[in-house]
Amino acid sequence: MSRSLSLELKARFRPRGGQRGDLVDQANADAEAELQIHLHQTDARLLRAIEEALARIRYGTFGTCEACRHPISRARLEAVPWTRL
């Protein structure tokens, strides 16, 4: 994640009114910003995995384990459709 996005998220969760707030407010704002950053990163990884699964469908390799080339079980594909293993 870019540093500018990190700073933007941290600024967004700072207490309002121009006041810096006490240390607890600052810590809570920082924790919320860090959580938002983590969620953004997780969403980006999930989106990439889904896009890769769609590409495997187009190439005809969806449902095949990338490590051993054996078919992936239907139950696993239903649980995690973007799985590669």
Does 25 map to a domain?
A: yes
Assigned domain for 49 exists? yes
* CA neighbor of 11 nearest in space, from 39, 31, 37, 30: 30
Q: Return the minimum-mean-pLDDT range out of 11-15, 32-36, 54-58, 60-64.
A: 11-15
User: Residue 73: its pLDDT value, please?
Assistant: 96
Q: Is residue 85 part of a domain?
A: no
Model confidence band, residue 12 (pLDDT cutoffs 50, 70, 90)? low
Give the closest residue to 33 by CA, choosing from 4, 10, 58: 10
- DSSP label at residue 83: -
Counting the structural domains of the chain, the total is 1
The stretches of the chain forming alpha helices (DSSP H) are: 3-12, 23-59, 74-79
Does 18 fall in a domain?
yes
Read off the pTM.
0.59
- pLDDT at 35 (0 to 100): 87
In a domain, 28, yes or no: yes
Q: Is residue 21 part of a domain?
A: yes
Could you list the residue range(s) of the whole structural domain that residue 25 is in? Answer: 3-79
- The conformation of residue 42, written as its DSSP 8-state character, comes to H
Which pLDDT belongs to residue 60?
95
